[in-house]
Structure 1
Amino acid sequence: MKTAIQIILTIAILTLGYLCWESIQKPVRFKAALKTRQEKVIDRLQGIRKAQRAYKSLYGKFTGSFDTLINFVETDSLPLVRMEGRLTDSMIAEGMTELKALKLGIIKRDTSFIAVKDSLFGTNFIADSLRFIPFTKDKEFEMAATSLETASGVEVPVFEAKVHNDIFLNGLDRQLIFNLNEEAEAYEKYPGLKVGSLTEANNSAGNWE
C-alpha cells in the first residue's frame, strides 16, 4: 500500500510539474509564433502598399481590386527620368531656374520606362502572391479603396488592406488569440494587421508602425 501511494504521489508531482512548465511555455511558444507570422504578413502588406503607391503615381488613385493591382504589377511600366547637366551656384545666384536651363539646353531630361515588377519587386517576383495571406490556405486580404474629403474640400485617395488575427493566427492557441483581440479592442485598435485606412488620410501607414 505504501509503495502504491508513493507511486501515485510521484505521478501527481510529475504531472503538476509538467502542467506548471507547460503554463509557462505556452505563452512563450505563442509569442514566438506570433512574431514569425506577423513579420510575414507585414512584409506582404508592405508589398501591397508599394504596388498601390506606384499605381496611384500613374493613375491618380488607389484600386480596391487585387486583379487590377496584380495586372498593373505584371504588365505596366513606370517612367524613369534621368537628368543630364546641372545648375551651378553662380547660375542659381543669377536667377537661372531649372525650366530656363531646360529651354536653353543647359540640362536635359531623358525619360525611359521600366517594368513595374522589375522596378518594385524584381523579375522573379510572383505578383499574384500579393493577394494571399501567409500561413493560410489561399485566403485573401480584405482590400478596398475610396477617397476622403479634407476640411479644405480636397478629395484625397485612400486605400486599406487588412487581415484579422483570427485568420492569420489560426491554428495557434485560441484563448491566447482571444486575449490578443480583447486587448486590441480595449484600446480601440483593429485586432489584426492593416495598412492604410478608409476613414482617415494616414499616408498609407501600417498599424504596426
Structure 2
Amino acid sequence: MPCIEEVNEKRTINNILQMKIALNILLTLAAIGLIYLLVESIRKPINFTETRDLREEFVRERLTQAAELQKVYKSLRGNYAESYDSLKYALTNDTFLVDKVIGDKYDTTTQVKIVQIKFPAKDSLLSMIKKKKPNMTIDEFFDFVSTVPFSEGKKFYIKRSEAIVEGTDSMMTSTFEIGTTIGTYLSEFDSASHVIYDPEYNPNELRKVGDLYKPSTNGNW
C-alpha cells in the first residue's frame, strides 16, 4: 500500500502536468488570437479599399449616364431637368427639330430650301439604352440611373439652377447637379474606424456630376 508521501508526490506531478497542459492551451489560443488580429489588420484596409473602389465605379457609371440624359434634355428644352420624371417625360415624348437643306447652296442657278424634320427623342433614348443596358426597358433604365447602388434603394438627388457664363458679366445659363454622399453607398464603413486606412475618407463628402454654380457636366472624381 503506497505511503502518504508517494500519493502526495503523484498528486503534485499530476497537478504540474495539468498546469502545463492548461498553459499550453492558453498559449495556443493566444497565438491563434494574435494571428487572427494580424490577419484582420491586413485584411480590413484591403477590404475597405477594394470595396470603395468597386462601388465608386458603379456610382460613377450611373452619374455619367444621368449627365448624358441631361445633355439630351437640354438640347430639347434649352435648360436642364429638375427631376427624373421630367427627364423621362421629355425624352419619351418630345421631338428634335433638325434642319435639312434641299438643293446645293453653292449652285446659284437653283433655289435652296431649308426644311425642319422632326425626330422623336425616344429614338435617341432607346439607342442609348440599347448601347448601355440592352436588356432594360425605359422604366427600368430610369430606375437604374436614379438609384444609388449599395444603398437599399436610396435615390440620387437632382437639382437645377442657373449660373453666369464664364467670360461674361450677366449672361446666364442653366446648370444642374446630381449626386449623393459617399456614406450612402459605403454605409458599413464609418469614418471613425476607417480613417486610419484613408485619412481623407469622409462619408459626408459628395460624389456628384455637374455643378450648380458653374456650367459643367463633369464629375468631381
- TM-score normalised by length of structure 2: 0.72
Q: Which among 114, 119, 122 is matched to residue 113 of structure 1? A: 119
Alignment of 1:172-183 (within 5 A): 172=189, 175=192, 183=200
1:69–1:163 Cα change, 3 Å: same
- Report if the CA contact (8 A) 1:51-1:120 is conserved: no
Match of 2:5?
none
Q: How many residues align?
A: 191
Matched, 1:196 2:210: yes
Match of 2:26?
8
Match of 1:88?
none
Alignment of 1:83-102 (within 5 A): 100=106
- Report the AA paired with residue 139 of structure 1: K
Quote how far apart the aligned CAs of 1:65 are: 1.3
Q: Which among 51, 55, 62 is matched to residue 69 of structure 2? A: 51
Give the share of equivalent positions with the same residue, in percent: 27
- Report the AA paired with residue 119 of structure 2: F
- Report the AA paired with residue 149 of structure 1: I
Distance 2:178 2:186 in 1: 17
Q: Output one character per residue of 1:56-107: Cα deviation in whole Å (capped at 9) or x when no partner.
A: 011110011121012223333445677899xxxxxxxxxxxx8556994789
Distance 1:2 1:106 in 2: 105
SS, match of residue 7 in structure 1: helix
Match of 2:148?
133
Match of 1:153?
170
Larger radius of gyration: 2
SS, match of residue 183 in structure 1: coil
Matched, 1:19 2:37: yes
Alignment of 1:30-49 (within 5 A): 30-49=48-67
Distance 2:45 2:98 in 1: 49
Distance 1:104 1:179 in 2: 75
Distance 2:107 2:49 in 1: 58
- TM-score normalised by length of structure 1: 0.76
Q: Which among 13, 29, 32 is matched to residue 47 of structure 2? A: 29
- Report if the CA contact (8 A) 2:195-2:201 is conserved: no
Comparing 36-45 with 120-129, which one deviates more in the overlay? 120-129
Match of 1:205?
218
Quote how far apart the aligned CAs of 1:168 are: 1.1
Quote how far apart the aligned CAs of 1:129 are: 2.6
Quote how far apart the aligned CAs of 1:184 are: 5.8
Unaligned runs of 5+ in 2: 1-18
Comparing 10-19 with 129-138, which one deviates more in the overlay? 129-138
1:171–1:17 Cα change, 3 Å: same
Distance 1:74 1:181 in 2: 44
